[in-house]
Structure 1
Amino acid sequence: MLFAAAMIALGATGLVNGDLALAWQQVPIHRLPARTAIAYACAIIELALGIGLLFKRTRPSTCRVLFPYMVLWLVWLEVPGVALAPQDIGNWGSLGEIAIITAGACCLFAGHSGTGESRRHGFLDGSGGIRAARWLLVVALPMIGAEVIVDAVNAGDRVMQPWLQWWPSPMGWACLTGIGSIATCLALLLGVWPRFAATAEAAMLGVITVAYWAPDLYTGRTATTALIISFLITAGVWLVADTYRNVPWFASGRPVWKT
């Protein structure tokens, strides 16, 4: 439901602004003649996908479209930035964020893309799709963790929003969240408390979304888009965490490749 709500909000924002989602949907060809038309088309697709996820009858077909759409977003809009400027940690962080959302879409595809005879999607069906989503999350978490740490070191104690400046050692806390994402990656990779680690990561990102971006909504489009994307990232991690629901909270020996 959180994933669906965020997709609906992203689509609505795109329709209002007539543009893509800022840094998270940068078109490689910035002077593309059909940019506005593409932006509106993406907004309509995102709105339709969000609505489709809300209803049981439309959820399977929606998931079959959602996952390829996110893969296309990841490959077409994020990978070129890393390829052209691999020294820019921001490009890696943006790639990691969209990869996490894609991991969530992969979980939905694995669980809802069809049943019985209609499930003919190869290795992404069921447990195969869950493993793929977990691997994608493992790869993405160090990217966002490293970006947070580098940005925190560069910005110092000014890394926090003004209403959080009273917090002791803002840079230290920001670095701690980045370390937390990297630690979650290692926990999932090695099978050390994977359910607890993934759920804690989702909870941390949810707190950051509400505390860091929500109070800034009055400033306009940038904060609004950042809040929506942050909710999508949180939902992506949450969906992967839910794949461990049958694993005890503090069980070990369940590495990422086992379902």
Structure 2
Amino acid sequence: MKQTILQPLKQEGLTTSIQQPAMTFFAAGMIGLGVLALTFGDFALVWQPVAAWVPGRTALAYVSGVLMLATGIGLLFRATVAWSVRILFPYLILWSLLKIPALFVAPQIEGVWLGFGELAVLLSGGWVLFARLSELKAGSKLASISGDKGVRIAKYFFAIWVIPIGLSHFIYLKETANFVPAWLPFRTGWACLTGAGHIACGLAVLFSVIPRVAAMLEAAMIGAFTLLVWGPAIIAKPRDRFAWTAFFISWAIGSAAWVVASNIATKRSVLMDE
């Protein structure tokens, strides 16, 4: 029987009650980015580094906006979710590939690893949704990256690339501290604490030490950053394109981490399945 969004994810002992909220927030992030692309006729600034000399850049930006908006909406409905993840997953792969050249051109700059790490977390969430909800036919050539195996690969991919996000807090300590809300004391301490938290979460998922809790904490940290940093930035400058873009990018990344966390089985759920 085909698995749908409304059926339990039996293989991992998970239920829709956990899966669906995370996916809804993920969809909202993609919808927000799509609306911004269509509003400004451009890509997501530094997060989608499409050079100005690329032919038809504006047209491509509109296509990108329509795709994010359509697939985001598609994730919200059972009838369209399979096709949405089939389209969104390769799009997120292509998006991440735009950052690959920088890793070879300037590997000594931690910022490029941070940039790819952020998109890798976003891709991980899309990968998990693809693995769970694409409803591929038996014998599909993509079977090796879907189902339970695909979820496991996406989980480890997520874990590895969360680590450079944490390292950036220490390498760019002053800049990170400046992002901490001014009303919080010990801003440098918060920057170090969250940096260590990202690294710890990545290692915990990578080595299966309470991985689901760790991934949930990662999602919570990114979510708190979204609300405490970019939320006030939007209120202060409601017409600032950068603030809105950063808000929805951060929202989508945090939601992607939540999607990954929601699909990591606990020992109890595995035992219950057995």
After TM superposition, the score normalised by the length of structure 2 is 0.84
Mapped contact 2:160–2:206 kept (Cα < 8 A): no
Deviation at 1:48, TM superposition (A): 0.7
1:48 to 63, 70, 84: 70
Change (3 A) 1:74 1:121: same
CA distance in structure 2 between the aligned counterparts of 1:86 and 1:13, rounded to whole angstroms: 31
Unpaired runs of at least 5, structure 2? 1-23
Q: Tell me the C-alpha RMSD between the 2 structures.
A: 1.9
Change (3 A) 1:192 1:56: same
Deviation at 1:151, TM superposition (A): 1.8
After TM superposition, the score normalised by the length of structure 1 is 0.88
Moved over 3 A (4+): 115-120, 154-157, 245-249
Change (3 A) 1:150 1:62: same
Mapped contact 1:6–1:231 kept (Cα < 8 A): yes
CA distance in structure 2 between the aligned counterparts of 1:198 and 1:117, rounded to whole angstroms: 30
Query: 1:54 is paired with a residue of what secondary structure?
Result: coil
Mapped contact 1:195–1:247 kept (Cα < 8 A): no
Unpaired runs of at least 5, structure 1? 252-259
2:90 to 49, 59, 68: 68
CA distance in structure 2 between the aligned counterparts of 1:109 and 1:151, rounded to whole angstroms: 34
In the TM superposition, 1:1-259 aligns within 5 A as: 1-27=24-50, 29-75=51-97, 77-114=98-135, 117=138, 121-152=142-173, 154-155=174-175, 157=177, 159-160=178-179, 164-217=181-234, 218-219=236-237, 220-248=240-268
Instruction: Specify the code of the residue in structure 2 equivalent to 1:233.
Output: I
Deviation at 1:131, TM superposition (A): 1.0
CA distance in structure 2 between the aligned counterparts of 1:15 and 1:95, rounded to whole angstroms: 24
CA distance in structure 2 between the aligned counterparts of 1:133 and 1:105, rounded to whole angstroms: 9
Percentage identity across aligned positions? 39
Change (3 A) 1:22 1:87: same
Cα deviation per residue 1:149-202 (whole Å; 9 max; x = unaligned)?
Answer: 2222x4375x135xx223221011012111111101111122111111111111
Mapped contact 2:163–2:203 kept (Cα < 8 A): no
**Which stretch shows the higher mean deviation, 232-241 or 113-122?**
113-122
Cα deviation per residue 1:39-63 (whole Å; 9 max; x = unaligned)?
Answer: 1111111111101111001001111
Mapped contact 1:96–1:140 kept (Cα < 8 A): yes
CA distance in structure 2 between the aligned counterparts of 1:25 and 1:156, rounded to whole angstroms: 22
Query: 2:35 is paired with a residue of what secondary structure?
Result: helix
Asked which structure has the greater RCO (Cα within 8 Å, sep 6+), the reply is 2
Query: 2:251 is paired with a residue of what secondary structure?
Result: helix
CA distance in structure 2 between the aligned counterparts of 1:103 and 1:129, rounded to whole angstroms: 10
Deviation at 1:86, TM superposition (A): 1.5
Instruction: Specify the code of the residue in structure 2 equivalent to 1:183.
Output: A
CA distance in structure 2 between the aligned counterparts of 1:212 and 1:5, rounded to whole angstroms: 19
Aligned residue number for residue 254 of structure 1:
none
Deviation at 1:245, TM superposition (A): 4.4
Mapped contact 1:113–1:119 kept (Cα < 8 A): no
CA distance in structure 2 between the aligned counterparts of 1:245 and 1:51, rounded to whole angstroms: 27
Query: 2:38 is paired with a residue of what secondary structure?
Result: helix
Query: 2:75 is paired with a residue of what secondary structure?
Result: helix
Query: 1:87 is paired with a residue of what secondary structure?
Result: coil
CA distance in structure 1 between the aligned counterparts of 2:265 and 2:229, rounded to whole angstroms: 29
Change (3 A) 1:156 1:143: closer
CA distance in structure 2 between the aligned counterparts of 1:156 and 1:114, rounded to whole angstroms: 41
Mapped contact 2:169–2:176 kept (Cα < 8 A): no
Alignment coverage as a number of residue pairs: 244
